[in-house]
Copies of this chain bind each other. A is one copy, B any other.
């Protein structure tokens, strides 16, 4: 491949920024199925993700059975009710009004884990920071998120779950650490502003960057 083909041009830059600007954490999905070929293409973004020592520790479970989905909903609702008790007054009212997951509508759902015991990569880069493996999984999810967005699809990351309960319900190996539960489907709406900002929960700010003295 020639140098020209490797160097990204201005259209590629503009396209990336478009995707980043319109990528949302989606909680409102249409129930239409996702085309299998499109989903497979997006999933193949995992194999392009960086990973510490090339350990590729990501493990995905596509959650389809009604039993498994019901267990996830129960897990979420228990944790969310508990979370609500930590707020008071108007903030509690606002929290209760938020839609924080699309577990009942999203046609595709994935529980994503990190295999902390993988021998792949022979531990390179994870000696002082074993959490670098989990971080590799998060990077891969981020690429998957953009790949979905590039197909007009949305992803919602659910973290209001008890990891031990989920691991048990899905019967995953002991060494798998739960990273995130992903709802995938066609978003009901498009927006340039996060739903939590539109709902008045919190606003985005510029990143904090300091210099060394």
Q: Which residues of A contact B (CB under 8 A)?
A: 1, 3, 6-8, 11-13, 15-23, 25, 43-50, 52-56, 58-65, 68, 79, 82-83, 86-87, 91, 95, 98, 100, 120-129, 131-132, 134-135, 138-143, 145-147, 149-152, 157, 159-163, 170, 178-180, 190, 192, 194, 196-197, 201-213
Contact = CB atoms under 8 A, between A and B. Distances in A.
A142 to B, nearest CB: 4
A101 B22 CA distance: 34
A99 to B, nearest CB: 13
Contact of A212 (B16, B149, B170): B170
Given A6-B190, A128-B161, 16 more contacts: A8-B19, A8-B151, A20-B48, A44-B206, A47-B207, A50-B157, A53-B201, A54-B197, A54-B201, A95-B124, A120-B205, A128-B162, A132-B159, A135-B138, A146-B146, A170-B212
Integer count of this chain's copies in the complex: 2
Contacts of A206: 44, 47
Contacts of A132: 159, 180
15 contacts: A8-B149, A12-B150, A16-B150, A17-B147, A20-B143, A52-B159, A56-B207, A59-B210, A60-B207, A68-B212, A68-B213, A122-B201, A128-B159, A135-B138, A146-B146
Contacts of A79: 127-128
Chain A to chain B: the 5 pairs with minimum beta-carbon distance, closest first: A12-B15, A46-B207, A54-B202, A142-B142, A15-B15
Most-contacted residue by chain B among A122, A124, A197, A204 (CB, 10 A): A124
Contacts of A61: 209-212
A118 B91 CA distance: 17
A134 B147 CA distance: 22
Contacts of A19: 8, 12, 16
A132 to B, nearest CB: 4
Contact of A202 (B17, B122, B149): B122
